Structure 1
Amino acid sequence: MGFDTSAAHCAAALLRGGAVIAERCEEMTKGQAERLMPMLEEMLAGAGVRWADLGVIGVGIGPGNFTGVRISVAAARGLALSLGIPAIGVSRLEALAEGGPRPVVVLEDARRGQAYRQHFAASAEPNTLSVSAPTSTALDIPTVSGTEPNAPPVLAPEPDTRPISGAGIRPVSEPEPDTRPVAEPDTSTPELVELDALPVTAPEIGSAARNGIAPALPLAVATALIAARRAGVPQPRPAPLYLRGADAAPPSDPPPVLLD
């Protein structure tokens, strides 16, 4: 099961073996706290599934609406504790990218001219270039002891000191330069960016996308799929993902004077 209340909606989906067997999404600007659990009950009943049948819970952790994120995370933690199953947090940006083209940049409107951004590379692994050290050649073979008892040591051959000449020839101990282009690294965590100064570097998904393409999957379905894929690996407890501090400021008025 996966559900999300990080925006003006209550969304949930139920999967079995990777196939969607039930899905609900109700648009609402408020009231998610009152509607979420009844909607989950209705979805389970309609699919003929009991709470005890669930194996993992995926929950949207934001970034998004401050109160909405806390509602879904608290519900997921409580359900996981009572059912004895894992609850796995999935960011809204991960869910929007699920099933879509790669590489892709997810941009979600954060208002005030800003956006939540995450770059997803072409593969599941971080899209960085790692070049291993050159392997040993005949000139670099160390002295190795024999493998049999009392066997004489195997000595490295004497280095070749003949001068090297000719165009395009370089010593064997000097590695060839790597001329492959280095791809843009995968952004492992989302970030808050200024939208006006952000160049377009890849196809974009999300409410702030400039060359936008539609998400491949509904948000709750993607959340459930990602959670199911991560279920075999220990995960931290779901926690809200906040990329911006709270708008509310502490009161500036002096505290009242207490009289004896």
Structure 2
Amino acid sequence: MTQLILAIDTAFERCAAAVYDADGDVLLAAAEPEIGKGHAEQLMAVIAGVFDAANVTYADLARIGVTVGPGSFTGIRVGVAGARGLALALGVPAVGIDTLSALAAPALGQGRAILATLDARRGEIYAALHAPDGAVLAAPRALPPADLPDMLVRLDTGTPLGLVGTGSAIALAALPDRNPLVLGSDSRIDLHALGALAARAADAPPRPLYLRGADAKPPSAAGSISFRAAASPQAVP
């Protein structure tokens, strides 16, 4: 049976969804309207549109993959909640993919280590380091740009380094001795790469990835979640 995966990304400005055929390693259909806000109102319509374009139904899905952050808190919450709800209703697994891994994936396999970054504002950057073969050398974290050289200690100085993500310019300035090459500087998630990552991810319910522990508090006794402000605490451009 063909393994079809619904890939969802609502971590940034786009409300994106795609149907990925894991057996053929191909996208059957994809849509990624740039909406800024309002993911909750548009996500299900975007999914319906890609299903129509791919000529599939919910019953055809084998699993669901969704970006879990870092990114816009509101967008991530919408995507994760949608993926988990659909997975429960359909009886299929849902898995989470961090946005830094998704940003790095298309640039891997070309002889360069990839430092995926997002401008976290507040004087910090979100970053994760991948070896040329995709192995994770440094897991996603929030840190001051001045600490980026320490993040690269496990990377041989002779290994070429590529930068992707909205924090690329910041990382470039912080790593003059590494002479990195900027391969991308936006937050667009490649949906083919997201689908491929979801296909091989271990089954585990997706959960939002918070890299600033103080920004989101644990559930209260009443079962609700308390946040310090209505605005997204980990929003990135």
1:241 to 180, 204, 209: 209
**Where do 1:204-243 residues align within 5 Å?**
204-209=163-168, 210=172, 211-214=181-184, 218-230=189-201, 233=202, 235-243=203-211
Kindly provide the CA deviation profile for residues 216-237 of structure 1, in whole angstroms up to 9, marking residues without a partner as x. Answer: x84332221101122xx4x221
Return the index of the structure with the highest Cα Rg.
1
- Displacement of 1:35 after TM fit? 0.1
Match of 2:55 in 1: 48
Q: CA RMSD in A?
A: 2.1
Q: Which runs of 5+ in 1 are unaligned?
A: 127-185, 251-260
| 2-structure distance, mates of 1:194, 1:45 | 45
Give the percent of matched residue pairs that are identical in Structure 1 and Structure 2.
37
Which of structure 1's runs of 4+ aligned residues deviate more than 6 A?
none
| 1-structure distance, mates of 2:124, 2:9 | 22
Match of 2:76 in 1: 69
| 2-structure distance, mates of 1:12, 1:214 | 21
| 1-structure distance, mates of 2:66, 2:31 | 14
Kindly provide the CA deviation profile for residues 108-134 of structure 1, in whole angstroms up to 9, marking residues without a partner as x. Answer: 1111221101010133446xxxxxxxx
Q: Which has the higher relative contact order, 1 or 2, with Cα contacts under 8 A spaced 6 or more apart?
A: 1
- Displacement of 1:214 after TM fit? 2.6
2:13 to 8, 19, 24: 8
Match of 1:138 in 2: none
Q: Where is the strand percentage greater, Structure 1 or Structure 2?
A: 2
Q: Which runs of 5+ in 2 are unaligned?
A: 1-5, 153-160, 173-180, 217-226, 230-237
Q: Is the 8 A contact 1:12 1:221 kept in 2?
A: no
Q: TM-score, normalization: structure 1?
A: 0.66
